Amino acid sequence: MRFMMIVIPRGYESAAPDAMPNPEAVAKMQEYNMALQKAGILLALDGLFPPSTGARVSYANGKATVTDGPFAEAKEVIGGYWIVQVHSREEAIEWAKRAPMSNNEIIEVRRIFEMGDFSEDVQKAAEGYEELPHGAGSKA
Is residue 95 exposed (0-12), middle (13-18) or buried (19+ Cβ within 10 Å)? buried
pTM: 0.85
Q: What average pLDDT does this structure show over 76-105?
A: 96
Q: What average pLDDT does this structure show over 38-55?
A: 95
Q: What average pLDDT does this structure show over 64-68?
A: 94
Q: What percent of the chain has pLDDT over 90?
A: 70
- Are the C-beta atoms of 19 and 53 separated by less than 8 Å? no
For residue 139, pLDDT beyond 80: no
pLDDT at 130: 75
For residue 54, pLDDT beyond 50: yes
DSSP state of 130: G
Nearest to 49 by CA among 2, 82, 16: 16
Q: What average pLDDT does this structure show over 15-23?
A: 91
92-110 pLDDT, tens per residue? 999 999 999 999 899 999 9
135 — pLDDT class (breaks 50, 70, 90): low
For residue 140, pLDDT beyond 50: no
> Which CATH architecture best describes the domain 2-131?
2-Layer Sandwich (3.30)
pLDDT at 11: 86
116 — pLDDT class (breaks 50, 70, 90): confident
Radius of gyration of the chain (CA): 17
The pairing of beta strand 2-9 with beta strand 80-85: antiparallel
Looking from the CA of 92 toward its CB, the CA atoms found within 13 Å total 23
Annotated domain spans of the chain: 2-131
For residue 138, pLDDT beyond 80: no
